[in-house]
Each structure stands twice: as structure tokens, then as C-alpha cells.
Amino acid sequence: MNVLIVEDEKSLSDEIVVFLKSEGYLCEQAFTGADASEKIAINLYDFVLLDLGLPDCDGLDIINNDRAWGSEPAFIIITARGEVQDKVKGLDLGADDYIAKPFALTELAARMQAVGRRKFKIPGQDMNVGEFVIEFQSRKVTHNDNEVLLTRKEFDLLNYLVINRNKVLTRQQLYEHIWGNILEDQYDSNFIDVHIKNVRRKLNEFASTPWLETVRGIGYRVSF
């Protein structure tokens, strides 16, 4: 999961980054509203953590603009302004949750997980996918109680395809969700193909159900 932290207090921002990285998130930082708007317009994020008190604008404007760009990250407002009005306005504009400063980082992580489950439809419990069982909490894939050994990134890739089942995901979407945002000229679509090939091979050692479809010229889709 790819997170943009919009917070002008550098020490707090850095603290959040260190913590979220240890939880397995990919993090980028923006210290002004202008910087945040630019990043959201170009990149794909799963989460935007948004401080409302920014030096150059009101954080709420960023959510407003984002709707115009048609990007859809989950917004979590983080602010010292504990005012009910801000909270109501933020949630009205489409923010997914709200957390007041000061907060414990573990609390932030719990909120992000809850929002993630809702917004990205990440199942709270195990899921049957064809002949396999995916255990989202323990990050395991099994087939008749035999574990399919996937690397961390391979699991993330499979996980992302499964929660978006029946939707075609482009190679770039898969790339940015799992490895983070990169410049267009550094983007190598073969990279995803190689990882998909590995996941397929590992699963096909156990079963041959054709559940992962390559959509020519676009990307991949899981149907079950």
C-alpha cells in the first residue's frame, strides 16, 4: 500500500514514515498543499494522510481538488483542530476517517487497516479463491492445507488482484500499488510480467485452475 503523508511538521511526518515503513507501507511525503496537490495529480496512492493546517492552504481544498482529478485514494484527516465542524466538513467532502493530534501511531495503523478493509474491500477473514485459501491476516496462501510459499511482494500482488477480482488491473496500477510511484520513463512493464509469471508458476504447482487471466495489451484480471 502506497501512502502520501501531507504534514508540514517535518518531525511528525518523519515519525509517521518510519512507523508505517516498519508496517510494510510505501511512503512519500509532502510538506505543503501545493506539493501534495501535484503529487496526487500525477501519482496513484492508496492512502493520503492529510493535515488540515498547511502553510499554503486548507487541507480540505486538497480533497475537493482530488475529486476533480478522479483519483481515489482513502483520505484520513490528521489534525490538531479537534473541531467537530472540521470533522463533519472533511467527512462530507469524502474523507474516509479523521484522527485528532496527538495520536498514538498504533491508533493510526488501526484506523488505516479499518479504512482499507472498507474502502478496498480487504476481507477480514480467510477467503476461498478457486482451490486456494487466502489468509489475509497471516498473509498465507494454502491449497489443501499445503502452504504455497510466496515472497512478500508476490503475496501483495496476488492480494491486490484478488480484492479487485473481476476488474482488469493495468501493469502500472499493479506496479505503483506494490513498488511505489516511479517516473514514467523508468517504468518497465516486463517487471510485473516476471512477478506474475512467478506467482502463476507457484500456484500451478498445486492446481491448474485458470483463474488469472492476461488481458492483452492492458494487464491482468482474477475471476472466480
Binding residues for Ca ion, rule: CB under 5 A, are 8, 51, 53
HSE, CB side, 13 Å, CA atoms: give it for residue 66.
26
Q: How far is the CB of 196 from Ca ion (least distance, A)?
A: 41
Q: How far is the CB of 61 from Ca ion (least distance, A)?
A: 14
What stretch of H or E contains 129? strand 127-129
Q: How far is the CB of 11 from Ca ion (least distance, A)?
A: 12
Q: Cell for 70? A: 478522479
Give me the amino acid identity at 177.
Answer: H
Instruction: Point out the residue whose Cβ comes nearest to Ca ion.
Output: 53
What does the alpha-carbon distance between residue 224 and residue 215 come to, in Å, rounded to a whole number?
Answer: 16
Q: Which is nearer to Ca ion, 56 or 107 (CB)?
A: 56
Q: Which is nearer to Ca ion, 77 or 169 (CB)?
A: 77
What stretch of H or E contains 99? strand 97-100
Packing angle, helices 84-92 and 59-69, rounded to 10: 10
Q: Which is nearer to Ca ion, 54 or 162 (CB)?
A: 54
Q: Which is nearer to Ca ion, 51 or 86 (CB)?
A: 51
Q: How far is the CB of 98 from Ca ion (least distance, A)?
A: 15
Q: Are strands 140-143 and 146-148 parallel, antiparallel or unpaired?
A: antiparallel
Q: How far is the CB of 9 from Ca ion (least distance, A)?
A: 5
Q: Which is nearer to Ca ion, 53 or 130 (CB)?
A: 53
Q: Cell for 76? A: 484520513
